[in-house]
Amino acid sequence: MTDQETTQETSPETAHQHTSEDAVAAIADTPATPPPSTHSRIKKTALAAILEGDLDNVSMDDDSFRSLFDTMLSKVKEDEMVHGKVISVTKDEILVDIGFKSLGIVPRAEFVGAETLTPGDGVDVFVEKIEDPEGRLILSRRRADFMKTWDDILKLHETQSVTPVRILRRIKGGMVVDLLGIEAFLPGSQIDVRPVRDFDSWVGRNLDVRVVKVNHPSENVVVSHKVLLEEQLTEQRGKILNLLEKGLVLEGVVKAISDFGVFVDLGGVDGLVHITDLSWGRVTHPSEVVSLDQQVKVVVLDYDPNRKRISLGMKQLTEHPWESIGERYAPGTKVSGKVVSLTDYGAFIEIEKGVEGLIHISEMSWTQHVKHPSQVVSLGQVVSAIVLSIDKADRKLALGMKQLEPDPWNDLTAKYPVSSVHKGVVRNLTNFGVFIELEPGVDGLVHISDLSWTKKIRHPGEFVKKGDVVDVIVLAIDNEHRRISLGHKQITENPWDIFENEFNVGMDTEGKIVRVIDKGVIVEMPQGVDGFVPVSQLSFAPVRTIADYFNVGDVLPLKVVEFDKEQKKIVLSVVELLRTKSADEIATYNVNHPVPNADKFTDGSAITPSIEDLESSESVEEE
Distances (CA, A) of 367 to 163, 216, 406, 432: 80, 84, 11, 20
Q: Is 109 helix (H, G, I), strand (E, B) or coil?
A: helix
Give the type of residue at 556: L
114 with 51: CB under 8 angstroms?
Answer: no
Which pairing describes strands 396-400 and 355-360: parallel, antiparallel, or unpaired?
Answer: parallel
pLDDT (0 to 100) of residue 80: 81
Q: Which residues contact 61 (CB under 8 A, 6 or more apart)?
A: none
141 with 125: CB under 8 angstroms?
Answer: yes
Least reliable range by pLDDT among 304-313, 396-405, 469-478: 304-313
Report the distance separating Cα 289 and Cα 283, nearest Å.
Answer: 8
Query: Above 50 in pLDDT, residue 608?
Result: no
CA 457 to chain CA centroid, Å, is: 53
Whole-prediction pTM value?
A: 0.41
Q: Which residues contact 9 (CB under 8 A, 6 or more apart)?
A: none
Query: Above 90 in pLDDT, residue 384?
Result: yes
Higher pLDDT pick, 497 / 428:
428
Least reliable range by pLDDT among 175-189, 306-320, 515-529, 608-622: 608-622
pLDDT digits (tens, 9 = 90+) for 93-124: 889 888 888 888 888 887 877 788 888 888 88
457 with 451: CB under 8 angstroms?
Answer: yes
Closest to 596 measured CA to CA, from 535, 545, 521, 533: 545
Domains of the chain, CATH where assigned: 1-74 (no CATH), 160-229 (2.40.50.140), 244-317 (2.40.50.140), 321-404 (2.40.50.140), 409-491 (2.40.50.140), 503-622 (2.40.50.140)
Mean pLDDT of 220-239: 80
**Contacts within 8 Å (CB) and 24+ apart, 35-43:** 42/2, 43/2, 43/3
Helices (H), 160-205: none
Query: Above 80 in pLDDT, residue 296?
Result: yes
CA 192 to chain CA centroid, Å, is: 29
Report the distance separating Cα 612 and Cα 608, nearest Å.
Answer: 11
Report the distance separating Cα 447 and Cα 460, nearest Å.
Answer: 9
| Cα dihedral sign, 475-476-477-478 | negative
pLDDT digits (tens, 9 = 90+) for 51-87: 565 555 556 666 666 665 555 554 777 778 888 898 8
Report the distance separating Cα 265 and Cα 288, nearest Å.
Answer: 19
Higher pLDDT pick, 141 / 8:
141
pLDDT digits (tens, 9 = 90+) for 577-593: 998 888 888 888 988 99
Least reliable range by pLDDT among 219-233, 506-520, 530-544, 546-560: 219-233
512 with 498: CB under 8 angstroms?
Answer: no
pLDDT (0 to 100) of residue 67: 63
Mean pLDDT of 397-419: 84
176 with 187: CB under 8 angstroms?
Answer: no
